[in-house]
């Protein structure tokens, strides 16, 4: 859990680099209210505004978590509203930790009961549909809602479910996470007043989300071994800022580069095999701007080979527009469907100019729940994200406080360290 929180905060700091972060901040300002809540590495905003901005920042530069079975980025909807509430009410770190765990678990379990393939076939985007349940759960737990109010909070979260793949390839696909965070906060705030909501938002025959957004789902799967098995353990983290479904491609490319000392001059051609689902989303997307380059398999393959790196520098406009890199990608990188590749796996074959054929196949990327990042790797990601945004001493203090969050007496102390220096 601590590693997930550490990674999420790192992702939110990195999100200050997001092209649309300023626009989300403008929306947050328009919502109004006193600017008393911390925006991570930014200027303070209202309770709702900080939730909205932080929710976007976590996902802004495509480096946050992913729950692969439901293709849902979970932390953007859960941690920002919990952080805003915990700061305002000086919650203990242990209580925040428990609330976040409950929120993450709620999202994953609702998503498991939803039957993701059927939901995806209808065009729904998970974070906006199931994410609000996590924010409502986390904030409701911090509030200490009684069972009836807690149920109403979840139902109010469900009635705000929204977000479709009609927006794929645009920033709105990320706004689903930001709005999902705000929806969860509003659900808990409204439920706290005693506001009533329907008792069966998931399973009602007419309008229940399992029936409306999916094929009826599996309610039993959502509560299987509840309290004994933690489904949040299947949440994966990302090591590189790129589409969650092409992390396996990056993992394979780095492995081949390291094993064979590859340079662009050595390469005749690169063939990447993806599942049909991943290919349809990432195989042919143009890389004409940063947003799409982060999601483009051909671009990621080419830039990783050329730069032997995959961080924000690789997605700057001038790097994307480099004619030599662009010509290499168009002339030597081919991406296609490989029926033997499952899920978000990848098969990469490189043919060298001296006649060798080099291959690497990955079922899971580095950072997946099946191949977890180490804490030192997450801390390194945190430090790299904070460069130029937080002073080094505050970065190290934030890492120390998050690692020891269970013993932190007041979450407002952590937020003070995470705020932009001139706003502290």
| Residue-wise pLDDT tens digits, 300-324 | 999 999 999 999 999 999 999 999 9
Which pLDDT does position 30 carry in this prediction? 63
Residue 217: C-alpha distances to residues 112, 208, 209, 220 (Å) = 8, 10, 9, 9
Of 344, 290, 292, 342, nearest to 71 (Cα)? 344
Tokens representing 380 are 């390194």
> Does residue 95 sit in the same domain as residue 130?
yes
Q: Span 1-28, mean pLDDT?
A: 87
Between these two residues, 378 and 423, which has the higher pLDDT value? 378
The predicted-structure confidence for 234-259, as pLDDT tens digits, reads as follows: 999 999 999 999 999 999 999 999 99
> Does residue 187 sit in the same domain as residue 263?
no
> Does residue 262 sit in the same domain as residue 167?
no
The predicted-structure confidence for 174-206, as pLDDT tens digits, reads as follows: 999 999 999 999 999 999 988 899 999 999 999
> Does residue 163 sit in the same domain as residue 44?
yes
Which pLDDT does position 56 carry in this prediction? 96
Model-level pTM? 0.91
Q: What is the C-alpha to C-alpha distance for residues 75 and 87, in angstroms, rounded to an integer?
A: 17
> Does residue 224 sit in the same domain as residue 264?
no
Answer whether residue 220 shows pLDDT above 80: yes
> Does residue 88 sit in the same domain as residue 113?
yes
Label residue 372 left, alpha or beta by phi (over 0 means left) and psi (-120 to 50 means alpha). beta
Which pLDDT does position 271 carry in this prediction? 98
User: Considering the chain, what percentage of its residues have pLDDT values greater than 70?
Assistant: 99
Which of 345, 362, 379 terminates a domain? The answer is 362
Q: Is there a contact between 320 and 289 (Cβ–Cβ < 8 Å)?
A: yes
> Does residue 209 sit in the same domain as residue 229?
yes
> Does residue 131 sit in the same domain as residue 200?
yes
> Does residue 149 sit in the same domain as residue 202?
yes
Q: Which domain holds residue 287?
A: 244-362
Of 304, 280, 315, 320, nearest to 360 (Cα)? 304
The predicted-structure confidence for 17-58, as pLDDT tens digits, reads as follows: 888 888 778 777 767 788 999 999 999 999 999 999 999 999
* CATH number for the domain harbouring residue 185: 1.10.4100.10
The predicted-structure confidence for 360-387, as pLDDT tens digits, reads as follows: 999 999 999 999 999 999 999 999 999 9
> Does residue 149 sit in the same domain as residue 33?
yes
Which pLDDT does position 169 carry in this prediction? 87
> Does residue 173 sit in the same domain as residue 229?
yes
Which of 334, 362, 390 terminates a domain? The answer is 362
What secondary structure does DSSP assign to 59-98, as a single string?
HHTS-S-BBGGGTB--HHHHHHHHHHHHHHTT--HHHHHH
Which pLDDT does position 423 carry in this prediction? 53
Q: Span 154-167, mean pLDDT?
A: 96
- Cross-strand bridge partners of residue 398: none
Tokens representing 39 are 């925006």
Which pLDDT does position 34 carry in this prediction? 87
Which of 327, 343, 362 terminates a domain? The answer is 362
* CATH number for the domain harbouring residue 298: 3.30.1330.120
Give the chain's mean pLDDT: 95
User: Taken in order 177, 383, 366, 223, is the CA torsion positive or negative?
Assistant: negative
Tokens representing 344 are 């978000």
Number of separate domains in the chain: 2
> Does residue 259 sit in the same domain as residue 217?
no
Q: Is there a contact between 76 and 181 (Cβ–Cβ < 8 Å)?
A: yes
Q: Calculate Rg over the CA atoms of the chain.
A: 21
Q: What is the C-alpha to C-alpha distance for residues 181 and 195, in angstroms, rounded to an integer?
A: 19
């Amino acid at each position: 859990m601590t590693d997930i929180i550490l990674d999420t905060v790192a992702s939110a700091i990195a999100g200050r680099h997001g092209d649309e972060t300023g626009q989300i901040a403008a929306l947050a300002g328009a919502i109004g209210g006193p600017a008393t809540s911390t925006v991570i590495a930014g200027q303070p905003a209202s309770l709702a505004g900080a939730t909205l901005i932080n929710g976007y920042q976590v996902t802004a530069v495509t480096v946050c978590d992913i729950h692969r079975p439901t293709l849902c980025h979970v932390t953007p909807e859960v941690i920002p509203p919990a952080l805003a509430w915990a700061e305002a009410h000086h919650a203990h770190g242990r209580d925040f930790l428990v609330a976040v765990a409950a929120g993450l678990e709620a999202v994953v379990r609702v998503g498991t009961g939803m039957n993701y393939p059927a939901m995806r076939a209808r065009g729904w985007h998970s974070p906006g549909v199931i994410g609000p349940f996590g924010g409502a759960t986390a904030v409701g737990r911090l509030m200490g809602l009684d069972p009836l109010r807690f149920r109403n909070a979840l139902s109010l979260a469900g009635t705000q479910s929204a977000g479709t793949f009609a927006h794929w390839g645009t920033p709105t696909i990320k706004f689903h996470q930001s709005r999902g965070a705000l929806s969860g906060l509003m659900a808990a705030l409204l439920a706290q007043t005693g506001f009533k909501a329907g008792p069966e938002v998931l399973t009602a025959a007419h309008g229940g989300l399992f029936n409306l957004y999916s094929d009826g789902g599996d309610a039993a799967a959502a509560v299987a071994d509840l309290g004994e098995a933690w489904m949040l353990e299947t949440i994966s983290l990302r090591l590189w800022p790129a589409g969650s479904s092409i992390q396996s491609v990056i993992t394979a490319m780095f492995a081949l580069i390291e094993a064979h000392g590859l340079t662009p001059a050595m390469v005749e051609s690169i063939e990447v095999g993806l599942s049909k689902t991943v290919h349809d989303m990432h195989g042919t997307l143009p890389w004409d701007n940063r947003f799409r380059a982060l999601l483009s398999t051909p671009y990621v393959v080419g830039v990783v080979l050329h730069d032997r790196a995959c961080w924000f520098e690789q997605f700057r406009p001038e790097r994307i527009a480099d004619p030599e890199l662009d010509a290499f990608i168009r002339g030597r990188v081919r991406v296609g469907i490989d029926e033997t590749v499952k899920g978000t796996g990848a098969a990469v074959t490189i043919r060298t100019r001296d006649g060798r054929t080099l291959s690497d196949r990955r079922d899971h990327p580095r950072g997946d729940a099946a191949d977890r990042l180490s804490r030192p790797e997450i801390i390194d990601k945190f430090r790299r994200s904070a460069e130029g945004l937080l002073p080094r001493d505050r970065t190290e203090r934030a890492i120390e406080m998050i690692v020891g969050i269970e013993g932190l007496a007041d979450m407002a102390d952590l937020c003070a360290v995470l705020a932009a220096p001139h706003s502290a």
